[in-house]
Amino acid sequence: MNIRRVLAGSALAVALVVTGALTLDRVFPPDLSRYQARSTEIVDANGRLLRAFTTADGKWRLKATPEDVDPLYLALLKTYEDRRFDDHWGVDPLAVVRAAGQWIARGHIVSGASTISMQAARLLEPRKRSLLTKAIQSARALQLEWRYSKREILAIYLTLTPMGGNLEGVRAASFAYFGKEPRQLTAAQAALLVAIPQSPERRRPDRAGDAARLGRDRVLERGLENGTIDRASFDRAESEAVPHRRLALPMHAPHLAAWLASQSPGTVVPTTLRFDLQASLAQLVRDERRQTPDEADIAVVAVDNRTGGVVAWVSGSDYFGRAGQVDLVRAHRSPGSALKPMIYALAFDDRTLHPESLVDDVPVRFKDWLPRNFDHGHTGGVTVRRALQQSLNVPAVLALERVGPQRFLATLRAAGASPILPRGESGESLGMALGSLAVSPLEMAGLYSGLARGGLFAPPRVRRDTAPLSAVRLLGPAAAWYVADILADAPLPDGFASLPVALRERRIAYKTGTSAGFRDAWAVGFTSNWTIVVWTGHADGTTRPGQLGRLAALPIVLKAFDRLPAEDNRALPAPADVLRVASWQDLPPRMRRLGPIAEMSGGPRIAYPPADARLELRAHEAISLAAFGGDGRLRWLVDGRPIDGTTWIPDGAGEARVAVIDQAGRSSAVTVRIVRHP
């Protein structure tokens, strides 16, 4: 009976202890707020750090897991700090007995009994040293072991362990002292990172090199004694110098990183950038800027057409200089002639124009505007192919008149761009053909990437943790192919008598643009795989006389292509519906010539809906479109997108642009507002 009572009492005591422990665990869970308040990290497509930001309390605290560090570091850490880490439950009884015996025998603390789990608990909740604190840390260590795996506890330690100054964690220290991730540390480097947390300020290698060396060597000696490293490794490590200065953490793509960090603070943001390409094109920008007499700003954005992802984002080369923090890749600037290919592509897609169509490059007055070419001259009769290659202005304005300014603007917006119009402009101006609106290099890259993808458009993607937007077909493959074929034979800039073989095989199509007053010089190049946009100028809009896109920006585009991998990059074959003719006379009548609409008569006119109408519709209610006049079959478009027949079911509420085109290419359009009723 006594034995039974003892057993029952013991069981009851154990049950009470367990119940009490579980209750305390629920009432006082571990506070992981310090561990979760980590630095924002912007990483490339392969997880390589581009830029990090300090935490709200000013710490470099980069997330670190056991997989992020060299196995030798982990082995030395356990050897020096907690040899039985993998076996105990948070508190090492053997270490406690040893430490207590030494304290009793010598009258002072000789060695501690703190485990890595206890240190993780201390790092989560820093307190002043005392026996009570040690007891609390022991309880917290047991709690951590109950709740988390050994790997997760190690991650807490590796992320929070103090490394001197405002450095916390093994990754921040590895970058600051060795300039690299801690995945491949030498024995000396690993030992130093183990030693510093023992006395972070006294062993900072950038301020106390001798103390840092002594601490490192003690770790190495312990590693040699326990067989963690061999004699040869010990000798090499002991002779290795201790770093004497602290390095800056990586700062690649700083403008993009700052933008993304503002969206997702305290997280790791994965991007589509490719570290090597980013570094290479950033170096190209630095080299090119040094060669400009006025140290002009240069922005470069490169897109992988196969994925729609941005692989390089360079917004200048002097981030801390005057106006250096302006993100030029996202800044809206006048494109000059750089958007002319989109105008011609729309006309090609309507089958009202062909690369061999004839156009008279002569003075033409559009109301009170008389556009001129850059050299103030005119070339007379030329093909559309020649007009686009030479970037002639009058033919481009004629093409925009035929396409319609509102349709052109709607197409840019549908492609993901957000063009900015001059104050008071409604979007009816033919001056858009020559750069009266403004777009950003990033938007320009998206537009040309859509051409490279055969008319499928989507905004460039820069984050890998967000789903890409679905591509929208705004042009047929033939229209996009015509543009690429024309621009691949555009004149080369001075100094490029011919392209290197490696670039020539890629069949690079390119277009340039120069804004009024020489404020902005542009060049865009694209192949089946890549699109590269270069803008150069001054962030404050200072004029740069004589700096044309063809001279200032196009050479940089070609040099950038020379730094991109070929990756089986070849020109795509012509689509089946490409029309090949020997001359303009072989074209269908409606495609032979491009002239002012004022010279054309009998064009179609929209009968319904009327201009500026307010149409109140229920969900899925259809509108019957009607027009009079025009020749042959009429084609209807809504916001630049063709519809079948004459029945249109609006997608939703808001403004819409309805256009009709006859077989002669004559058109008219109206704007209506759709209002939905339940």
The catalytic site residues sit at: 81, 337
Q: What is the 3-class SS of 49-82, one letter each residue?
A: EEEECCCCCCCEECCCCHHHCCHHHHHHHHHHHC
Rounded Cα gap, residues 204 and 577, in angstroms? 70
> What are the CA-CA distances from residue 279 to residues 57, 218, 522, 529, 556 (Å)?
30, 39, 22, 20, 15
Alpha-carbon dihedral angle through residues 53, 55, 56, 59, given to the nearest 10 degrees: -110
Determine phi and psi for 349, rounding to 5 degrees.
-70, -30
Q: What letter does residue 333 receive in the DSSP assignment?
A: B
Cα 636 to chain center, whole Å? 37
Determine phi and psi for 334, rounding to 5 degrees.
-70, 130
Closest CA to 337 of 529, 612, 548: 548
Cα 638 to chain center, whole Å? 32
Return the amino acid letter for 650.
Answer: P
Rounded Cα gap, residues 8 and 3, in angstroms? 8
106 phi-psi bin (left φ>0, alpha ψ -120 to 50, beta other): alpha
Pairing outcome for strands 593-594 and 358-361: parallel
Rounded Cα gap, residues 100 and 518, in angstroms? 80
Largest CA distance in the chain: 119
Rounded Cα gap, residues 665 and 594, in angstroms? 10
Rounded Cα gap, residues 397 and 484, in angstroms? 20
Sheet strands side by side (includes 635-638): 614-618, 667-677, 654-661, 635-638, 641-642
Alpha helices in 68-130 (DSSP H): 71-81, 93-106, 116-124
* Residue-wise burial string across 193-204, b where 16 or more C-beta atoms lie within 10 A, e elsewhere: bbbbbeebeebb
Rounded Cα gap, residues 394 and 340, in angstroms? 11
Rounded Cα gap, residues 451 and 445, in angstroms? 10
Closest CA to 643 of 654, 664, 657, 629: 657
Rounded Cα gap, residues 127 and 312, in angstroms? 46
> What are the CA-CA distances from residue 408 to residues 404, 414, 440, 636 (Å)?
6, 10, 17, 15
Rounded Cα gap, residues 437 and 412, in angstroms? 11
